[in-house]
């Protein structure tokens, strides 16, 4: 007969704490990316794949309104200076 191996009881609280830590960190990062263009620029320079995931998640969460794609276009225009008036 094969017995199941179970996680020892003393390891359960640290595993739960680690999962809560990861979830909290993910939520705070998402909130920061959603509210700050400067943070998105920092992520673009240092972790571009994370920013692409953020834009993709925004597209999925907006249910067809493509908010992530719009935000990405707006950010690129802002960062490259394409939205400034050339008449100045």
Query: Residue 43 belongs to what domain range?
Result: 37-80
Contact 75, 52 (CB under 8 A): no
**Residue 1 located in a structural domain:** no
The whole-number pLDDT of residue 87 equals 47
pTM across the whole model: 0.68
- Number of structural domains (the chain) is 1
pLDDT tens-digit profile of 62-74? 888 888 899 999 9
Q: How far is CA 79 from CA 12, 37, 44, 57, in A?
A: 46, 9, 11, 21
Q: Which of 40, 50, 49, 39 is nearest to 73 (CA)?
A: 40
Neighbours of 24 (CB within 10 A): 10
Q: How far is CA 43 from CA 4, 22, 52, in A?
A: 43, 18, 10
**Residue 14 located in a structural domain:** no
The whole-number pLDDT of residue 12 equals 84
**Residue 10 located in a structural domain:** no
């Amino acid at each position: 007969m094969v017995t199941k191996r179970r996680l020892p009881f003393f390891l359960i609280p640290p595993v739960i704490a680690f999962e809560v830590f990861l979830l909290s960190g993910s939520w705070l990062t998402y909130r920061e990316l959603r509210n700050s263009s400067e943070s998105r620029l920092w992520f673009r320079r240092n972790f571009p794949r994370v920013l692409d995931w953020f834009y993709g998640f925004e597209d999925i969460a907006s249910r067809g309104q493509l908010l992530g794609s719009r935000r990405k276009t707006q950010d690129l225009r802002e960062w490259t200076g394409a939205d400034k008036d050339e008449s100045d």
